[in-house]
Every structure is written in C-alpha cells, then in structure tokens.
A = this chain, B = another copy of it.
Amino acid sequence: MSTKERLIEAGLRLLETEGPESLNARKLAGEIGASTMTVYTHFGGMTGLYEALVRRAFVQFGDALAALDRTDDPVADLLALGMTYREFASASPQRYRLMFGVTAPGSGIAAAHDLTEEGTPSAIPEASATFDELRRAVQRSLDAGRIRGDDAVAIAGQFWSMIHGFVLLELSGFFGTEGRGVTTVLAPHATNLLLGLGDDPAAVAESTRSARARFGVAEAALRVPGAGTAGG
C-alpha cells in the first residue's frame, strides 16, 4: 500500500478513535512510521490531507448509500436511504463532521472555510455523487406518481436538509440519546414531508414498514406514528 494511502487510512482511523485533535502531522506520521515531511510530499500540507480525507469519506459514504437494494417501492427506497444516511453519520460522527466542515474550533483540523475552494464539500465531485443518489431516489418516487412536483433536485434538497439537520442536532445531543430522536423527530418528519408532497397516508405507512423491515430493527425503535398523527 502506498504511503499516501496509508496516511489517509491512518487519518480516518485516528479521527474516529482519538478524535479530531489527534489529526496532526506528527502523530499521523508517527502512525505509519514516517516523518512529518511525508505529509508535505504527498498532500502539500495538512490542508491537502484534510481534503483527501474528506474525499475518501465521501467515497465511503457514497458506497454505503449505493449498496442499498432498489425495490419496486421507490418511497421505501428513499426512506431506507435516509436510515442508511443517519446510520453512517451515527457510526462515526467525527467523520461526518469532517465531511461537512463541521468541527468546532481548536480541534486541530482546518476550518471548512480554510480549505481550498476545491476542498469545499459543494465543489467535491464525490460529494455531488452522494447527493445524486438521493436525487435519483426522489426522481423514481416522482416517476411512480407517489409524490408531486416538477423538480427532483429541489425536493431532494428538502430531504437532505431534513436529515442533515437532524443528524447534526442529534450528534450535538439535542434530541436525547439512544436514537430516541429518530422515533420522535426524524421519522414523523419524513412522514409529514411525504404527505406534504402528496403521497397517500396509507402508502407512506406501508413504505415506512417496508423500509423499517429491511433494517431488521425492532418496531419500537423506528416506530412511526400513523399517517396523519403528526406529532410524536
């Protein structure tokens, strides 16, 4: 494995196991038995390394989302996509925060706005690819006549706002622990959004059941209120 590759893998590993403050040149280099100079040879500096980590993380993210089976219920697929999204972020919060430049001051990593223009998530092709996965699921739901609208990108943006906001607030501890927020906030939100987009209450309920079953999660954990009883 190339030195470059080893640095990236060590970086992602260190990030998760010891937190962002451990993502520094000396520790990273020591991890692969090299000097700090290797960071500059291969990435031009710590900023370049961060960008490489972000890219790699988005690739992993895209793979996780793309690995989902596509069924004949596009809304269920969409919901499953959301569950996978949230699971990915939940599994390694630091990685998710890094991807969206969402690390607070002093972590030892560079600020999002410190990254190169090309390092900005919106300018990273790998990031666009993951969003495209979402867009396609929305398009299929449109094509199937499950939801109304003429702009899949705009609707995908709504789903993305929903889950991105939820995930970050959940990671910050605003929705309690043990995934309680998924039951009380995220699932009802998805239901309400689908209803607002014109899907049928019974169909939403069925798709939710289907998506939930695919994850083999206990009813209680991901229970969704009956369509129409919006609250929690």
Contact = CB atoms under 8 A, between A and B. Distances in A.
Nearest to A112: B104
A172 B112 contact: yes
Interface in A122-142: 122-123, 131
Interface stretch (A2-10, A69-77, A195-203): A195-203
B175 A157 contact: yes
Interface in A47-65: 47, 50
A207 interface: no
Interface in A76-115: 94, 97-98, 100-115
Contacts of A209: none
Given A104-B103, A151-B232, A165-B161, A111 B19 contact: yes
B158 A188 contact: yes
A25 to B, nearest CB: 11
Interface stretch (A27-35, A36-44, A223-231): A223-231
A171 B41 CA distance: 32
Contacts of A173: 120-123
B111 A20 contact: yes
Contacts of A162: 158, 161-162, 165, 189
Contacts of A97: 102, 112
A148 B229 contact: yes
A149 B191 CA distance: 13
Contacts of A114: 19, 21, 104, 106-107
Given A20-B111, A194-B196, 15 more contacts: A47-B106, A101-B103, A101-B172, A104-B109, A104-B111, A105-B111, A121-B174, A151-B231, A153-B184, A157-B185, A158-B185, A158-B189, A161-B161, A164-B169, A198-B228
Q: 6 nearest interchain CB pairs?
A: A105-B109, A165-B165, A149-B231, A106-B110, A154-B232, A192-B196
24 contacts: A19-B114, A23-B105, A50-B104, A101-B104, A104-B112, A104-B113, A106-B108, A107-B114, A121-B172, A122-B172, A123-B173, A148-B230, A149-B231, A150-B231, A154-B184, A155-B231, A158-B188, A161-B163, A161-B185, A161-B186, A164-B169, A165-B165, A165-B166, A196-B196
